[in-house]
Chain A
Amino acid sequence: GNSVTQMEGPVTLSEEAFLTINCTYTATGYPSLFWYVQYPGEGLQLLLKATKADDKGSNKGFEATYRKETTSFHLEKGSVQVSDSAVYFCALSTGGSNYKLTFGKGTLLTVNP
């Protein structure tokens, strides 16, 4: 079956530090990959996505590249801000006419000023 493994948190960084959150996956077929973000007290919202190998998703300074050879989709940001403090979820979908997302357990990021 499908599964997503992401690095355990929590991750604590100072403002302007470099961020990497690792994500690897196991899937049948050719999945689409996603990063969702959950700010305190809110639901999840899509941060970025990639639908095929070597695609790079990007949004709000965050980037992730779909690496089929390493089955990975690591999230990176060059300079984090306090407002980036949230829980980040890696997810995949193997599609079809009916689809569902399989999520990792989430990584809590805290950015200190």
Chain B
Amino acid sequence: DAGVIQSPRHEVTEMGQEVTLRCKPISGHNSLFWYRQTMMRGLELLIYFNNNVPIDDSGMPEDRFSAKMPNASFSTLKIQPSEPRDSAVYFCASGPSSGGRSGNRELFFGEGSRLTVL
């Protein structure tokens, strides 16, 4: 299995530009998560989906951020317009479906997309 695949690995853009980050979860996993990692705040959960449906987006910073999961094998996180404070590493993670206690389920992370907004 190829694991969770994220693209791009690195993105440098200018303030005001639109940024789209992409994620392909592990086949068969029904839960997908977007996290943001910064030195100041650590790992923050932005949004998570179960069976392609957004379950909790309370971590999305503001209206400039949006996420979609049009099918079980693809998700995007979009920032429009981007700002320098959005600079961070964005991780996508997937996990197996619900059923059984959560402790029996593990999250699998991609290698992250490092975003720099100048």
**Residue pair A43, B33 in contact (C-beta under 8 Å):** no
Q: Does B118 contact A (CB under 8 A)?
A: no
* Interface residue B111 (Cβ < 8 Å from any Cβ of A): yes
**Size band of the interface chain A makes with B:** 20 to 34
Which residues of A from 53 to 89 have beta carbons under 8 Å from B? 89
Q: How far is the CA of A103 from the CA of B45 in the complex (A)?
A: 9
Q: Is B55 an interface residue (CB 8 A)?
A: yes
CB atoms of B42 and A98 under 8 A apart? no
Complex contacts, B107 vs chain A, CB 8 Å: 44, 46, 101
Given contacts A42-B111, A103-B42, contact A93 B91 (CB under 8 A): no
Contact yes or no, A49 B103, CB < 8 A: yes
Q: Is B112 interfacial (CB-CB < 8 Å)?
A: yes
- B91 touching A43 by the CB < 8 A rule? yes
Chain B residues with Cβ below 8 Å from A106 are: 42-43
Indicate whether A28 reaches chain B with its CB closer than 8 angstroms. Answer: no
Nearest chain B CB to A65 CB, angstrom units: 15
Complex formed: what's the CA distance from A100 to B108 in Å?
Answer: 12
CB-contact partner of B101 in A32, A42, A46, A101, under 8 A: A32
Using a CB–CB cutoff of 8 Å, the interface residues on chain A facing chain B are 32, 41-46, 49-52, 89, 93-106
